[in-house]
Amino acid sequence: MTSITIKRPDDWHLHLRDGEMLEGVIEHSAKDFARAIIMPNLVPPVVTTQDATAYRERIMKALPNGMNFTPLMTLYLTENTDPADVAAGHASGLITALKLYPAGATTNSDSGVTNFENVMPVLEKMAEIGMPLCVHGEVTSSDIDIFDREAVFIETVLDPLRQRVPELRVVMEHLTTKQGVDYVRSGGDNLGATITTHHLIINRNAILAGGIRPHYYCLPVAKREEHRLALRQAATSGDTSFFLGTDSAPHTDPLKLQACGCAGCFTSINTMSCLAHVFEEEGALDKLEDFASLNGPSFYGLEPNSETIELKKQQTPISFPERIETGAGSVTVFDPMYPLHWQVV
Ligand code: NCD
Ligand code: ZN
């Protein structure tokens, strides 16, 4: 096969940032994606409907003229989140989901949840109105090995929480383990998961073997090969529980390349080329549309996009820039470490 046409994809987990970074990266999402779930971990975070209204306006203002892109806004769940504000934001159509960060789990997550007791009223309200909770599924205690943090989160936090509020619709964001895949497979209709582009391509060797490569460091950190294979199987299986969330998370090069570098891979620009490559390798190009364009809307109760995009396989490799320049600084583009031949035309 040298050409494939699919419904225009959406990105169910995206960091657009703010200010000059937002202005520099937004076109790379808007080019291929119709909609995206916009992560709220700004500094300060997007915590109220009012914050989200203002952030959405900044996003729309940064969108280049003539580009068609709908940001689906989220609120950052804190122990002070007001259930009434959440319900009003959801009813007005502004807020699509809430994002749960365990305190300290990742970039800008200091305002996250420590005591789940304090967020039960919000979670119960969300279950009642059918509003999804996007979960960063890692425990944060220093005695848990970083490679085990997702699996331990599922066992000690997520599963007890879901048993307590079974009607709550939950998206396990950026799944990185076989345990996560198995849990989502057995989780019923109220549980879904996003999988990133880079976790389908790299395992932890990319970060650590033969020298330390900060541009492959993201959270949750990439795991062993067996986990990457489980993720690839899940993503390419057509199972409606799994859908694309790039977690494209731009940081400037100086912030990545320092003694304590930031977590995040910037993938929005070449995600569709990378995914076509992965799905072709798995003999599953016919499942790309499910993963990138159909399963996400179905979980979120939205229609798939009506437009389509075409990907064509080119003889000569597609050249993506090594880095993009933004007003905030340069951002290195995720390098899958092999040539890419599929191009969105
Ligand atoms: C994200 C970021 O930089 O905001 N980083 C990352 O490694 N994925 C935060 C997140 O999604 O964990
Ligand atoms: Zn993220």
What is the DSSP code string of 112-165? SBS-GGGGHHHHHHHHHHT--EEE------TTS-GGGHHHHHIIIIIHHHHHHS
Beta pairing, strands 323-326 & 95-100: unpaired
E strand intervals along the chain: 3-7, 11-14, 35-38, 70-76, 95-100, 133-135, 170-172, 191-195, 242-244, 308-313, 323-326, 329-332, 342-344
Ligand 1 site, residue 107, Cβ cutoff 6 A: yes
pLDDT digits (tens, 9 = 90+) for 12-52: 999 999 999 999 999 999 999 999 999 999 999 999 999 99
Residues 32, 38, 39, 41, CA torsion sign = positive
Indicate if the pLDDT at residue 106 is higher than 90.
Answer: no
Question: How many other CB atoms sit within 10 Å of the CB of residue 61?
Answer: 10
**Residue 74 near ligand 1, beta carbon < 6 Å:** no
Å from CA of 262 to ligand 2 middle: 12
**What is the per-residue pLDDT for 338?**
98
For the chain, domains (ranges, CATH) are: 3-344 (3.20.20.140)
Nearest ligand to the C-alpha atom of residue 42:
1
* 41 touches ligand 1 (CB under 6 Å): yes
The CA 138 to ligand 2 mean position distance, Å, reads 12
Q: How far apart are CA 302 and CA 93, in angstroms?
A: 12
Q: Is the CB of 136 under 6 A from ligand 1?
A: yes
Q: Which atom of ligand 1 is nearest to the CA of 264?
A: 7
Mutate to test the pocket of ligand 1, among 247, 255, 262, 265 (most ligand atoms within 8 A of CB): 247
CA–CA distances in Å: residue 191 to residues 9, 69, 89, 153, 278: 21, 26, 22, 15, 25
In contact, 66 and 20? CB cutoff 8 Å: no
* Distance of alpha carbon 227 from the chain centroid: 18
Ligand 1 atom closest to the CA of 263, numbered from 1: 7
* pLDDT digits 0-9 by tens, 120-158: 999 999 999 999 999 999 999 999 999 999 999 999 999
> So what's the pLDDT on residue 108?
85
Tell me the average pLDDT across 55-74.
Answer: 98
The catalytic residue among 239, 247, 290, 335 is 247
Ligand closest to the CA atom of residue 16 = 1
If we measure between CA atoms, which residue out of 35, 39, 46 comes closest to residue 71?
Answer: 35
Residue ID of nearest Cα to ligand 1 atom 6: 264
CA–centroid distance, 208 to ligand 1, in Å, is 19
Q: Active site includes 286? A: no
**110: pLDDT strictly greater than 90:** no
Q: What amino acid is encoded at 154 in this protein?
A: I
Number of H helices, E strands in the chain: 14, 13
Instruction: Determine contact, residues 242/248, Cβ cutoff 8 Å.
Output: no
> Is 133 near ligand 1, meaning CB less than 6 Å away?
no
* Any ligand 1 atom below 6 A from CB of 263: yes
Dist CA 207 CA 149 (whole Å):
18
pLDDT given at position 165: 97
Looking at this protein, which amino acid is placed at residue 279? Answer: F
* pTM for the predicted model, two decimal places: 0.98
Angle at 122 between CA 121 and CA 127, to 5 degrees: 100
